Amino acid sequence: MNTQLPFIIPILVSALATFLVRILPYYVTFLDRLPPFLSRSLRLLPIAALGPLIFPGVIVDFPNRWYAGLVAVMVSSLIAYRRNGMIIPILSSILVTYLLLL
């Protein structure tokens, strides 16, 4: 934690970024004419985002038991791979982490 801003500021900054990309296509048309390589890259962004959202955070966030988070996400991935929905994988991983941190 560096400077501790009131939470409302980053929340609104995030909202602004989200709103801009949503309203943009209603006012411009160049989005339909992007080169194929570029538009393919842009469509891959959400997938490419998932890797850095998990690593290295999942390991460094649990300094006492570095493997706790890792085991937990392996459990949630396995469950999520087999069935739709998020809540069971998430609850299972919380339980696993809890047991590993005991």
Partner 1 sequence: MKAEQQLTFRQGCIEGSPIFVGYFPTAMAFGLVCRDLGLRIWEAVLFSVTNFAGSGQFLAASLIRSGSILLEIFISVLLVNLRYSFMGAELSRKLEKGIGGIARVLLAHGTTDEVFSVAVLHRLPITKPYLAGLELTAYLGWVSGTAVGFLVGMVLPSALQMAVGVTLYAMFSSLLAQEFRQKGLNVLIIALISASLNSFLILVLKWGVGYSFVLSMLTASFLGAWFITEEEYRA
d(CA 91, CA 93): 5
What is the footprint of partner 1 within residues 27-46 (CB under 8 A)? 29, 31-32, 37-46
Check if the beta carbon of residue 100 is closer than 8 Å to that of residue 67.
yes
What is the footprint of partner 1 within residues 49-88 (CB under 8 A)? 49-58, 60-62, 68-69, 72-74, 76-81, 84-87
24 is an interface residue for partner 1 by CB under 8 A? yes
Check if the beta carbon of residue 90 is closer than 8 Å to that of residue 57.
no
CB 66 → partner 1: shortest distance, Å? 12
CB 75 → partner 1: shortest distance, Å? 8
Site for partner 1 (CB under 8 A): how many residues?
Answer: 76
Taking alpha carbons only, the member of 64, 59, 63, 84 closest to residue 74 is 59
